A and B are shown apart, each in its own frame.
Chain A
Amino acid sequence: MTAAGEVATSAGRRQAERQAGRRARLLTGALLVPASFWYLVLLVLPLVIVGVYSFGVRGPDGGYQPALTFDNYAVVATRFGPFWLSLAMAAAGTALCAVLAFPLAYFIATRATRRKTLLIILLVIPFWTSFLIRTIAWVTILGPRGVAGFLSDLTGTEVQLLGTPGAILLGIVYNYLPLMIFPLYVTLERLDRTLLEASKDLGAGRWATFRQITLPIVLPGVITGSILVFIPLMGEYVIPAILGYGKVFLIGNVLQLDFLVSRNWPAGAAKAVVLIAIMLVSISFYLWFMNRGRRTRDVSVL
């Protein structure tokens, strides 16, 4: 083969590679179209609309009328109670879910052996029934013919469980627990048992092993689970409406009141924007807090 021929083939190869590259890029682009559409039209655009609405005023018969006013935000500042209550409820609910889910996820991932599939199926079964029906079932369980009645008879004083923050917390944890269990289970299942054995061999106690080996490895699962639970909890509306007897007033219920009762869309939109801001801040703080420990440890190892 002559030198010129070699040059020609390598040029041809390069061209073919370039063509393949272009095809790959085209394919990537095509595959990204649905997700981009989803993101832009169903997430970004509605957010922009909410943002624009939040500066408007209520139309004479409800709804939205264009305007440029900050009144809706000024009102939010004076009625901050439901935000605090939601934040407290969401934080407490997430923490409770994590504490309850961890032992169970650990058991299923490491000890359940052959019953693993069965246990996972059992966890999924409640989802076959409507979320609404499962929540309304708690009304009967906690009501005067259920636990509250039993406690009243037992103590001789009237006990009311429904309509208290405790009842809401119970409903929240009950409904959201699986969202915490599954991410934890997935990370725990990938946990390399030999690391635990090595830790034991090197003289670490159970607690030290848990703290220094298990927990850092499971951390991504905890973070995923917490975010999965925390975000919908902040907007939770149905559980307090059903178990709260109309008396536990979370931010979701405020939004319902603004949009469906007062029909004051701009006021509701402003609160929605504030809610999004609160969530961004709290989740950023949470991620920073959770990752902070890891980074310092990485450095110390180096």
Chain B
Amino acid sequence: MDEALRQYQADILKAKLSRRGFLAAAGFAGTAAALAACSSSSPSAAPSSAASTAASAAPSQAASAAATAAPSYGPVESEFFLFNWSGYFSPDNQKAFETEFKTTVKYDTFASNEDLLAKLQAGGKGQYDVCVPTAEFVPTLVKGGFIEKLDKSRLPNLATISPQFLGMPFDPNNEYLVPKDWGTTGIIYRGNKMTDPITSWKDFWDLATTKYSGKTFVVDSPGDVFVAPLRMHGFDVNTTSKDELEIARQELMKLRPHLQSIDSDTYDQTLRDEVAVLGLAWNGTAYVLQSDASGKYKDTGYVIPTDGTIFWTDTWVMLSQAPHPNAAYTFLNWIQDPKHQVVESLYAGYASCNDAAKPLLPADFTGNPAVYVPSSLLNLLSVATDQTGNQQRADIWAQFKAG
């Protein structure tokens, strides 16, 4: 608790802060300390088996942070290079971070985890400070030597991370990743136009191939699209069984001629325009449409299919040879401040992994089943692992894309 304060006092002594910056830092240290207290006492409501280990891990990290006297790291660099999904970092937060630390955020985007990996493999080392892979891609990034072990003593705010997201199988010792937010892959629809009852992937297939043929889309992401046909038949989402994947292939090819688009970038617009009224997508878009200022898209619905789907956690990681390490650490710590988490969650429409942020979020956000999965449905969710190396899947996907 007071280690956060001490850290901040040390920082303040080192760095020349503007008055505004000082006030922000002081206020921030206060809330962080208060919230750290809540987080370690609140038991996890998560299905994660890691909860118990994580609950004990969090305070011990905090203790180790307190033990080390804050060494001098130098000031925040004048630039900070962020490599992220598009529309996944609040412009308000960006402005706040830039003014507070007198730095400039350079924000580049990638389209998918595969895209991120490919760009790093093709020589992206030393180009960026922080990037945002989904948790299941972190082991590949570690193996490739693309990301760096985090110095937790520089990240006191991690104490407020929900234990559910600590000790994940992708980073069992919490060495590399900082959970950003989490969401699900499910069924999105425009209630005004798609009036039939829908509860499962089976329903989705039936409706998409009949009444809503030509009005249905899926995201352009194999990892998400494979979930539907596999769960429809009760198979594991990470299956490598040839027969099961063959059944998935047949289902996908059955759906293909009825699709309006295979697209991850503009589907919110096609839903707005009612060009598509039904889709396999991520939950954040549902909230973004429902809460649109115009109020025209309140009818947007989101369903966690009863035959099961995946949940995923996006994470902040620090790239090796990061050109601006001080900015990176400052940012990773700063963004975990609950009040910045709130801005971030409301912007992207995804649930924060930060326990301390949840009480600060409006009730219609935390109570929205499209954002925070109701606890009764948590048993429907499983975690996907990176399957891009599976040749059969790659082949099926190429066939699906070609139609």
- In angstroms, Cα B403 to Cα A247, docked, is 7
- Asked whether B56 is an interface residue with its Cβ less than 8 Å from the other chain, the reply is no
A245 contacts B262, CB within 8 Å? yes
Interface residues on chain B, size class = 20 to 34
Within 8 A of A (CB), among B188-226: 214, 220, 222
Please tell me if the beta carbons of A82 and B402 are within 8 angstroms of each other in the complex: yes
Q: In this assembly, does B36 line the interface, its C-beta being within 8 Å of a C-beta of chain A?
A: no
- Residues from chain B with Cβ under 8 Å of A262 in the complex: 114, 388, 394, 397
The residues in B between 360 and 403 inclusive whose CB is less than 8 angstroms from any CB of A are: 388-389, 391, 394-395, 397-399, 401-403
- Known: A145-B273, A260-B115. Contact between A160 and B260, CB under 8 A? yes
Closest to B115 in A: A260
In the complex, the answer to whether A261 meets B403 with C-beta atoms within 8 Å is no
Asked if A63 is an interface residue, CB under 8 A from chain B, the answer is: yes
Type the 1/0 row for B143-157, where 1 means its CB is closer than 8 Å to any CB of A. Answer: 110000000000000
B112 at interface (Cβ–Cβ under 8 A)?
yes
Contact partners of B394 in chain A: CB under 8 A = 261-262, 264, 267
- CB–CB B222/A261 < 8 A: yes
Pick out which of these stretches binds chain B: A10-18, A201-209, A249-257: A249-257
Q: What is the minimal beta-carbon distance from A261 to any residue of chain B, in angstroms?
A: 4
Given the interface pairs A261-B114, A263-B121, the reply to whether A61 lies near B262 with Cβ below 8 Å is: no
Flag B76-100 by CB within 8 Å of A: 1 or 0 each.
Answer: 0000000000000000000000000
Interface hits, B234-264 → A, CB 8 Å: 259-263
Q: Is the CB of B121 within 8 A of A63?
A: yes
- Known contacts A143-B273, A263-B114: A58-B398 contact under CB 8 Å: no
A contact residues around B389 at 8 Å (CB): 58, 60-62
Q: Is A292 part of the contact surface with B, judged by Cβ < 8 Å?
A: no
Complexed CA–CA distance, A264 and B140 (Å): 15
User: How far does the alpha carbon of A117 sit from the alpha carbon of B256 in the complex, in Å?
Assistant: 50
Residues of the A chain whose Cβ atoms lie less than 8 Å from the Cβ of B399: 79
**Residues in chain A near residue B263, CB distance under 8 A:** 245-246
> Would you give the 0/1 interface string for A227-265, flagging 1 where the beta carbon is closer than 8 Å to chain B?
000000000000000000111010001100101111110
What chain B residues lie within 8 Å of A60 (beta carbons)? 389
Question: Quick check: is B25 within 8 A (CB to CB) of the other chain?
Answer: no
Q: What's the minimum C-beta distance from B137 to chain A, rounded to whole angstroms?
A: 10
A261 touches B273 (CB 8 A): no
Closest residue of B by beta carbon distance from A253: B401
How near does chain B come to A95, taking the closest CB pair, in angstroms?
Answer: 24
Question: Closest CB of chain B to A203's CB: distance in Å?
Answer: 56
Task: Say how far A132's CB is from chain B's closest CB, in angstroms.
Answer: 13
B261 touches A62 (CB 8 A): no
Most A CB within 10 A of own CB, among B121, B222, B399: B121
> CB-CB < 8 A to A63: which residues of B?
121
Pair B388/A62 contact, Cβ less than 8 Å: yes
* A260 & B114 in contact (Cβ 8 Å cutoff): yes
Known: A247-B262, A253-B401, A260-B114. 18 other contacts (CB 8 A): A58-B391, A61-B140, A61-B143, A75-B395, A79-B398, A81-B402, A139-B266, A143-B275, A144-B273, A163-B260, A245-B261, A259-B118, A261-B394, A262-B388, A262-B394, A263-B121, A264-B394, A267-B394
A to B CB contacts below 8 Å, 28 in the list: A58-B389, A58-B391, A61-B143, A61-B144, A62-B117, A62-B388, A79-B398, A139-B266, A144-B274, A145-B273, A158-B214, A245-B261, A246-B220, A246-B263, A247-B259, A249-B401, A257-B398, A260-B114, A260-B119, A261-B115, A261-B222, A261-B394, A261-B397, A262-B114, A262-B388, A262-B397, A263-B118, A267-B394
Binding site for B on A (CB under 8 A): 58, 60-63, 75, 79, 81-82, 139, 143-145, 158, 160, 163, 245-247, 249, 253-254, 257, 259-264, 267
